[in-house]
Amino acid sequence: MTAPFPALDELPGRPCPIAASLEVVGERWALLVLRELWMGSHRFGEIVAGTGAPRDRIAARLKVLEEARVVERREYQQSPPRFDYHLTDSGRALVPVLKALLVWGREYAVDADDPLRRLSDPRPRTTEENP
């Protein structure tokens, strides 16, 4: 399977790895899907509930992330077939980016008086997704 990454010379503007990365994870729902997986939500319904996104958007993001080998599907039930989702090594390598966004968001994007400021900190439930 070929990852859905364009060649750098196919990107508009200045070609660089940041632009290439944003082709895969630069969409809002993609980062929130990664946050949910990092926090331990692996089933589709949990991911939808945690992100607040429409089901079709999450399905589309999961497909792109799986094609890019950032996320993998694992069958947890055979009849009927059901799958859950997990970060790959590539996905786990994005956890420091999520942590940096958390710190930046707390400092610059959330009002200091917001009562949910600290309550909204992700607390990963598993060590599998927490490098």
Residue 120 lies inside a defined structural domain of this protein: no
**Runs of H (alpha helix) within 40-92:** 44-51, 55-67, 89-92
Question: Which tens digits make up the pLDDT trace of 62-116?
Answer: 999 999 999 999 999 999 999 999 999 999 999 999 999 988 988 888 888 887 7
* pLDDT higher than threshold 80 for residue 122: no
Q: Tell me, what's the pLDDT at 123?
A: 63
- Residue pair 118/102 in contact (Cβ under 8 Å)? The answer is no
Residue 125 lies inside a defined structural domain of this protein: no
Q: b or e along 23-40 (b: 16 or more beta carbons within 10 Å of the residue's beta carbon)?
A: bbbebebbbbbbbbbbbb
Q: Tell me, what's the pLDDT at 1?
A: 44
Element (H, E) at 75: strand 71-77
3-state secondary structure of 4: coil
Tokens of 98: 């999520």
Question: Which tens digits make up the pLDDT trace of 13-58?
Answer: 888 899 889 989 999 999 999 999 999 999 999 999 999 999 999 9
Q: 33: domain CATH number?
A: 1.10.10.10
**Number of independent structural domains in the chain:** 1
